[in-house]
Structures are given as C-alpha cells and as structure tokens.
C-alpha cells in the first residue's frame, strides 16, 4: 500500500461562485492518442474565470499531453477545446495566458542575466524581440518582481538564487504581461518542501489579489487539498472533477482508482502512518 501525505486545508477567503462566471477553458469529450496508444479518453473539463484548479495524477497519466492540447501544440483526435471561447489553434491573444513549464529552472546557472532581465523577457511576445523597452514597461517589470517578493534580488544574477527563488522569477516573468490565466506545469519539481509550501502560498496570494485563473499540474497531492478551489484527478480519463471538500471525503477511493493500487492518505493533524 502506498502512502500519500495530505495537508489540512487552510481557511482562505471565499473566491466567489465560480458557477456564475464564464469558462476560461472548456474541454468537451476530448480524446487523444499517440499512434495506437490512447493517452486521453473522453475528457470533460472546465476552468472558470477566477478559479484555481489543480490537475493531479500519476506519471504517464496524460497531464502534459492535456496541457499541450490546451496550448495548441497538439490537436485532439476527437472532441472540442475552447480557450477564452476560441479553439487553441485559432487563439491569437497569447498575452492573456502566462505559462511556467516544469523545465523553467533547467537552464545554465552561469547564464549572465539578472532577475530583472529575465522578467523583462516575458514582455517580448507583446513588444516584439527588437522593440525597445520604455519606462512604463520597466515599471511593469518592477511591479511583477514586487508581486513575487523579490525586490531585494532584482539586480542579482538568476543563477545565484535558490530553486524556490528561481521559480518565483519565472512566475514574475509569466505575470509581467498581465495574463488572465496562469498555467503551471509541475512548478515545484526539484524544490525543497519549505520552498514549495511558500511557493503555493504565493500562488494563493496572487489568485486572491489579482483574481487570476490558475491551472496547476502537480503530483503534490498535499498542495492540492491545502490551497486550490477545485481538483481534477486524471489517469487517461478523469476519475474526479469537483471541489476540494468532495475530494477530501473520498480521496482514498479516488486516488486508489486513479493510481491503480491501494492508497493510504496521511493526515498531518493525526500523524497517521499506516503501513500496507
């Protein structure tokens, strides 16, 4: 029996009634295969404006493929995807989406770029690579750096920062174009537990402060129950898509079904440690 730690959900301000808001992302009966191997099967998934949704599942469950479909780099075999009401391949408002990949911090640590320069590169899509940055653009860069709490590191080489600080830089880079939707693909891979917790708290702060819609792909089940509004549990098909309270009530059954083997959930309140 495999054990998974689940954090106790903190009391957070009400995010509002998401059922009354428009969908930012909608997937309708989406299926996808690589050659003869089915990766996603009949996926129905909705992310509404102002919602914080976590997508969880084991390695190889199709999470990264789902993101590629959402971002338009792959096209579904069947079904429909709508991003702000448009099909991803027809979507032309890229600045409305911020994206942080799981490889964001896999770069040359000696690369001679400061935090401010890395964050500023997030505006190139809006400005064009060779367009000169103006004062208002640098002000926006400074605001994004402040939002992630890195004012004191703005002129430091990014390679000199910790893994958690580097991830904050890439969050700032994604935020600098003022997106409405922030997509994060396994953002805490390689980051220590304390930095990961601080990172998730930052996401919650940005979510509440800016009303951002967030789609978080993660294997960190504890982060799911502690910080997000809604949860989708994926392993080729969806085994759950609903709010955190419903997930918590049935988490062991849902995770056992999705992961394909018995799952025991450890609750930090009681320090459970049940062996197989």
Q: The domain that contains 89 carries what CATH number?
A: 3.40.50.300
Helix, strand or coil for residue 273? coil
Domain count, the chain: 1
3 state SS of 217: strand
Query: 234 falls in which pLDDT band (50, 70, 90)?
Result: very high
Q: What token pair was written down for 128? A: 């064009």
Tokens of 226: 């502690």
What mean pLDDT is predicted for residues 222-238? 88
Instruction: Using DSSP, state whether 181 is helix, strand or coil.
Output: strand
User: Treating both helix axes as pointing N-terminal to C-terminal, what angle do 163-175 and 193-210 enclose, rounded to 10 degrees?
Assistant: 20
Whether residue 149 lies inside any domain: the answer is: no
Strand partners, 17: none
Strand partners, 233: 56, 240
Q: For the residues 98-111, what does the mean pLDDT come to?
A: 71
193 or 215, higher pLDDT: 215
Residue with the larger pLDDT of the pair 155 and 188: 155
Please say whether the beta carbons of 173 and 91 come within 8 A.
no
Give the pLDDT of residue 95: 82
Tokens of 155: 């002129």
**C-beta atoms surrounding 90 within 10 Å:** 9
Strand partners, 80: 28
Whether the per-residue pLDDT at 142 is higher than 60: the answer is: yes
Domain membership flag for residue 249: yes
Q: Residue 28: which domain range?
A: 2-14+21-107+181-267
Question: What does the pLDDT read at residue 5?
Answer: 47
Q: Is 239 a domain residue?
A: yes
| Assigned domain for 114 exists | no
The residue with tokens 């054990």 is 3
Taking residues 214-232, report their average pLDDT: 86
92: in domain: yes
∠ CA 27-14-97, nearest 5°, is 40
Q: Would 8 be classed as within a structural domain?
A: yes
Those residues whose C-beta lies under 8 Å from the C-beta of residue 103, and which sit 6 or more positions away, are none
| Average pLDDT over every residue of 55-77 | 93
Total length of the chain = 276
Cβ-count burial 116-150 (b if 16+ within 10 Å, e if not) = bebbbebbeeeeeeeeeeeeebeebbbebbebbeb
Say what the pTM is: 0.83
Lowest mean pLDDT among 10-14, 51-55, 229-233: 10-14
**What tokens were used for 59?**
């390695």
Look at 106 and 184; give whichever has higher pLDDT: 184
Residue at 74 is within a domain = yes
Tokens of 188: 């805490």
| Per-residue pLDDT tens digits for 121-133 | 888 766 665 567 8
Does 132 fall in a domain? no
d(CA 203, CA 185) in angstroms, rounded, equals 13
* Model pLDDT, residue 104: 59
- Look up tokens 């904050």; give the residue: 168
- Give the pLDDT score at 270: 37
């Amino acid at each position: 029996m495999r054990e998974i730690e689940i954090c106790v959900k903190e009391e957070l301000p009400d995010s509002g009634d998401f059922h009354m808001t428009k969908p930012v992302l909608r997937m309708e009966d989406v299926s996808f295969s690589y050659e003869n191997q089915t990766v996603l099967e009949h996926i129905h998934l909705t992310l509404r404006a102002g919602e914080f949704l976590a997508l969880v599942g084991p390695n190889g469950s199709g999470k990264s493929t789902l993101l590629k479909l959402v971002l338009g780099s792959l096209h579904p075999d069947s079904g429909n995807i709508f991003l702000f009401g448009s099909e991803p391949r027809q979507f032309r408002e890229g600045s409305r989406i911020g994206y942080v990949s799981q490889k964001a911090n896999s770069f040359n640590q000696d690369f001679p770029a400061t935090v401010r320069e890395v964050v500023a590169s997030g505006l190139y899509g809006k400005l064009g690579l060779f367009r000169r940055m103006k004062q208002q653009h640098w002000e926006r860069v400074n605001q994004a750096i402040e939002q992630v709490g890195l004012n004191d590191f703005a002129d430091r080489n990014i390679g000199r920062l910790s893994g958690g600080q580097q991830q904050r830089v890439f969050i700032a880079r994604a935020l600098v174009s003022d997106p409405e939707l922030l997509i994060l693909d396994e953002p805490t891979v390689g980051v220590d537990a304390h930095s990961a917790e601080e990172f998730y708290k930052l996401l919650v702060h940005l979510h509440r402060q800016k009303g951002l819609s967030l789609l978080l792909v993660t294997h960190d089940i504890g982060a799911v129950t502690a910080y997000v509004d809604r949860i989708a549990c994926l392993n080729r098909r969806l085994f759950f898509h609903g709010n955190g309270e419903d997930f918590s009530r049935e988490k062991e059954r849902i995770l056992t079904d999705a992961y394909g083997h018995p799952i025991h959930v450890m609750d930090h309140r009681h320090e459970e440690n049940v062996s197989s």
